[in-house]
Amino acid sequence: MSAHDQITLTGLRVRGHHGVFDFEREQGQDFVVDVTLHVDARIAAHSDNLADTVDYGQLAESIAAIIEGEPVDLIETLAERIAMAALAPFGVHAVDVTVHKPQAPIARTFHDVSVTIHRQRENA
């Protein structure tokens, strides 16, 4: 594996109904996700064939389905679910996922709250 090859999707904004509080689940809010896939891009680079890499359009749809899906309390749980989906395509060796919750229920002025996790394929 070439450890330096990455495919990155940044700023995917999807409305979800996650959170500890009832009003978060009822009203929903936007979640913003950044995902970096660690891959070996050499085969795709030589073949110039989408079948030899990760289709980032499909990746975005998979992530959106998770965010729009079953509510969870914690963005840590949401990040884990996204990471597992992002690791599914063949050729993805590891993934970094950041879930931003810019409308988190905090009584102070703030820009963002986020959780970042790193997961890798067990046999990588």
- Average the pLDDT over 101-118 and give the result: 96
pLDDT value at 9 more than 90: yes
Domains of the chain (ranges; CATH) run 6-120 (3.30.1130.10)
Q: How confident is the model at residue 3 (pLDDT cuts 50, 70, 90)?
A: low
Q: What is the pTM of this model?
A: 0.93
Q: What count of other Cβ atoms lies within 10 Å of the Cβ of residue 103?
A: 15
Q: Give residue-wise pLDDT tens across range 31-86.
A: 999 999 999 999 999 999 999 999 999 999 999 999 999 999 999 999 999 999 99
Torsion angle defined by CA atoms of residues 62, 34, 32 and 111, in that order, rounded to the nearest 10 degrees: 170
Question: What does the alpha-carbon distance between residue 33 and residue 9 come to, in Å, rounded to a whole number?
Answer: 8
* Cβ pair 15, 32 in contact under 8 A: no
Tens-digit pLDDT profile for residues 20-42: 999 999 999 999 999 999 999 99
Q: Provide the token pair at 30.
A: 């936007």
Are 76 and 117 in contact, with CB atoms under 8 Å apart?
Answer: yes
Active site residue 48: no
Catalytic residue among 18, 38, 81, 101: 101
